[in-house]
């Protein structure tokens, strides 16, 4: 059995891999062009041109949660199993979403401007208790956010593809046909869903028009789920009250982007889940799957390639 790892990995990770699959031939920092023909598994991205030569390949693992950058057309059409690191960043992403909602509710940028000017600026602001948050996506991050929002005494709505699956902490589940009613009922709409063909551009002009004028839009998962032009127009026209954006349609966010300077927008640089624990959880998920693959056991976090997550 031969497993190839792209990129660099420290000695602790290498030791963990050797312990998980002691009989496997493992190459770190692999040149896929040289080894792909004999590889049984790859941890990392496999370009389409190389995938065509991978006659023994059975498994590809994405170190990231979102697989939109890994799931190429060739991989989609192949019999190769794809797994992800889903769940590694759920806790900090949910924390970041709470942070953005708190900042928007209390107009923290106003305090920051006043602090920079050494100006005492007390104002009446909102609170999260009693507000309704709509979670677009109920994977690991969405469910963790639901629990945190309930602790803040919020009403929690959820939207997911499969409404029959239990969703702890969610007061009401909505199907895709109820998208605009879901939006119209929410004071905060938080996107925790992956970027897939079904979610790409889902938040268009009609979606933002369906939201309350007092509502805020928060995105912590992937840019591209919102149409940036539609979002900008909604913010400028006052169709929604504000936005907290950690994920952006173009990254890094260009210096000339209007999002930087809009007074009702909080921008963070896709940094919500960049914690040491996220990295550690991702390694644990990968090592668990390496061991499962070596033993011939079912893999964890198998991606539904047709759905994109």
Residues 245-287: tens digit of each pLDDT: 999 999 999 999 999 999 999 999 999 999 999 999 999 999 9
The domain made up of 2-86+276-307 has a fold known as: Rossmann fold (3.40.50)
- Rounded Cα gap, residues 295 and 297, in angstroms: 6
In this predicted structure, what is the pLDDT of residue 251? 97
Closest CA to 135 of 127, 122, 145: 145
Beta strands in the chain (DSSP E): 2-5, 25-28, 41-43, 59-61, 81-83, 132-136, 155-159, 172-174, 188-191, 216-219, 242-245, 265-267
Residue range 43-56, pLDDT digits in tens: 999 999 999 999 99
In this predicted structure, what is the pLDDT of residue 220? 98
Asked if 2-86+276-307 and 89-267 have one fold, the answer is yes
Is residue 57 within 8 Å of 80, Cβ to Cβ?
A: yes
Per-residue model confidence as pLDDT tens for the chain (309 residues): 999 999 889 999 999 999 999 999 999 999 999 999 999 999 999 999 999 999 999 999 999 998 988 888 899 999 999 999 999 999 999 999 999 999 999 999 999 999 999 999 999 999 999 999 999 999 999 999 999 999 999 999 999 887 778 899 999 999 999 999 999 999 999 999 999 999 999 999 999 999 999 999 999 999 999 999 999 999 999 999 999 999 999 999 999 999 999 999 999 999 999 999 999 999 999 999 999 999 999 999 999 999 999
In this predicted structure, what is the pLDDT of residue 165? 81
Closest CA to 148 of 166, 165, 168, 163: 168
Q: What is the CA 29 to chain-centroid distance, rounded?
A: 26
- Which two structure tokens, joined as six digits, stand for 232? 């900008």
Closest CA to 3 of 309, 304, 286: 286
The domain made up of 89-267 has a fold known as: Rossmann fold (3.40.50)
Q: What residue ranges do the domains of the chain occupy?
A: 2-86+276-307, 89-267
pTM (2 d.p.): 0.93
């Amino acid at each position: 059995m031969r497993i190839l790892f792209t990129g660099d990995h420290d000695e602790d990770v290498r030791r963990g891999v050797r312990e998980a699959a002691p009989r496997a031939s493992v190459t770190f920092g692999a040149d896929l062009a040289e080894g792909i023909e004999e590889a049984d598994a790859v941890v990392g991205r496999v370009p389409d041109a190389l995938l065509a030569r991978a006659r023994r390949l059975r498994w590809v693992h994405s170190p990231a949660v979102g697989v939109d950058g890994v799931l190429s057309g060739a991989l989609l059409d192949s019999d190769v199993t794809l797994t992800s690191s889903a769940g590694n960043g759920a806790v900090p992403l949910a924390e970041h979403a709470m942070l953005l909602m708190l900042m928007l509710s209390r107009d923290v940028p106003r305090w920051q401007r006043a602090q920079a000017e050494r100006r005492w600026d007390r104002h009446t602001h909102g609170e999260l208790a009693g507000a309704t948050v709509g979670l677009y996506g109920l994977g690991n991050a969405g469910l963790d956010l639901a629990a945190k929002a309930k602790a803040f005494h919020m009403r929690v709505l959820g939207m997911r593809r499969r409404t029959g699956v239990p969703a702890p902490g969610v007061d009401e589940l909505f199907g895709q046909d109820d998208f605009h009613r879901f939006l119209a009922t929410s004071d905060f709409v938080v996107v925790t869903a992956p970027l897939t063909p079904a979610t790409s551009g889902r938040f268009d002009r009609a979606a933002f028009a369906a939201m309350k004028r007092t509502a805020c839009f928060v995105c912590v998962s992937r840019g591209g789920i919102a149409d940036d032009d539609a979002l900008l127009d909604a913010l400028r026209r006052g169709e929604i009250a504000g936005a907290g954006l950690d994920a952006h349609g173009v990254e890094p966010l260009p210096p000339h982007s209007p999002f930087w300077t809009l007074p009702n927008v909080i921008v963070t640089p896709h940094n919500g889940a960049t914690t040491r624990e996220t990295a550690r959880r991702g390694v644990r998920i990968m090592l668990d799957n390496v061991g499962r693959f070596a033993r011939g056991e079912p893999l964890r976090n198998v991606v539904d390639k047709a759905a994109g997550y």
